[in-house]
Amino acid sequence: MMSPKIKNEAVVDLLQKKKSAFVSGTEIAGALGVSRAAVWKKINRLKKSGYTIEASRAKGYRLTEVPGLSIEEIRNALSGRPRIIGGEIIFYDTVSSTNTIAAELAGKASSGGEGCTEGTVIIADGQTGGRGRRGRAWVSPPGKNVYMSIIVTPGVPPVQAAVLTLMTAVACASAIRRLSPVPVSIKWPNDLMVSDRKLGGILTEIKADMDRISYAVIGIGVNINLEVDDAPDDIRSIATSLKYETGRPQSRTKYAIEILDEMEKWYGIFMKEGKRPVLEEWLRLTSTIGKTVNVTIGDTLLTGTAEKINDEGMLMLRLSDNSLKVISSGDVTVLR
């Protein structure tokens, strides 16, 4: 009788729980309900995927190092069923920006040339010119975090580009909450927050006609194992990472898989059911609505209550004179 298939994360989780101690093949086999031979085969596959595992006939197995980012594992986790997001994954060690690469591919495809299919994901180990909103630099050291861009062709009106950003924030926050105890929330429009520190961000760039989006490139950056003390001085006090929040290193591979699965789910909901479910879930996860905030738009500073978002995902700010101002873009600071 054949043993059931073992997922990579099941074995890795068992080894990680023992920290630096050995775990016997018998213990792993018993915990997972498989044979010792199946465990041995899986250990060898993990080694080929980049995991460093010490083996001892007398003691068993000990995990000493996890791979920086296992693209093979990501592809395997996403294969086996029809999907849009992650059907094709392109990996680079280092790029200037994953959004730049994705935009070039999407542009070629939209012009009828060789490009890529919808849902293609560009992932990089590091970026030399990572970008945030409003042209700001996004700190992207290699070997630390998740940097990826997703190409979609939703065919919706350009005014719904903001909803794509909110949708992505929902997917990322949901994925992080599922894998960790970190209480991540969303600050309008695109920041993933833990209390008042930034864990990640989203940058959506589109090419559109008057009535429809030809393609959108959605960039995602999440701080997984960033050492906060190594961050530049100007962001050190406002940045955080999952390693910092949990007190131990986290698997970039695991978070990349979960984020892409959540993106598949929420993009499907958006395309089938429209924006309403996305906006409702965003409201459940946000830390902005109902708070007194400063909104900086160029040289203008507005203070008011973040009352709600409208159907296009724009912020509705209640000012001191009781007027309601629609904010389409700007930097928001939640006041304590």
Q: How many domains does the chain have?
A: 3
The verdict on 90 and 223 lying in the same domain is yes
Check residues 256 and 45 and name the one with the higher pLDDT: 256
C-alpha–C-alpha distance, residues 99 and 217, integer Å: 6
Task: Give the mean pLDDT of the chain.
Answer: 89
Q: Which residues contact 111 (CB under 8 A, 6 or more apart)?
A: none
**How much is the average pLDDT of 13-28?**
85
Please give, one letter per residue, the 3-state secondary structure of 113-124: CCCCCCCCEEEE
Given this model, what pLDDT does residue 63 score? Answer: 87
Check pLDDT > 90 for residue 289.
yes
Given this model, what pLDDT does residue 234 score? Answer: 72
The verdict on 102 and 251 lying in the same domain is yes
The verdict on 51 and 161 lying in the same domain is no
pLDDT in tens, 195-206: 889 999 999 999
Residue entry with tokens 């030809």: 214
**How much is the average pLDDT of 102-119?**
84
Decide which of 65, 84, 112 is a domain's last residue.
Answer: 65
**How much is the average pLDDT of 246-270?**
95
Is 201 part of any domain? yes
The verdict on 175 and 198 lying in the same domain is yes
C-alpha–C-alpha distance, residues 198 and 222, integer Å: 9
Is 1 part of any domain? no
Judged by average pLDDT, the poorest of 121-135, 228-242, 303-317 is 121-135
Check pLDDT > 70 for residue 243.
yes
27 is in which domain, residue-wise? 8-65
The verdict on 219 and 258 lying in the same domain is yes
Specify which residues 137 forms β-bridges with.
Answer: 131
C-alpha–C-alpha distance, residues 19 and 74, integer Å: 24
Given this model, what pLDDT does residue 268 score? Answer: 97
Given this model, what pLDDT does residue 49 score? Answer: 64
pLDDT in tens, 116-137: 899 999 999 988 866 655 556 6
| CATH number where 231 lies | 3.30.930.10
Candidates 144, 155, 156, 146; CA nearest to 122 is 146
| CATH number where 56 lies | 1.10.10.10
- Size of the chain, expressed as the number of residues it contains: 336
The verdict on 163 and 229 lying in the same domain is yes
Check pLDDT > 70 for residue 256.
yes
pLDDT in tens, 53-100: 899 989 999 988 776 788 888 998 998 889 999 999 999 988 889 999
The verdict on 93 and 161 lying in the same domain is yes
The model carries a pTM of: 0.81
Given this model, what pLDDT does residue 133 score? Answer: 56
**How much is the average pLDDT of 155-184?**
96
**How much is the average pLDDT of 253-273?**
97
The verdict on 198 and 311 lying in the same domain is no
Band (193; pLDDT cuts 50, 70, 90):
very high
Band (176; pLDDT cuts 50, 70, 90):
very high
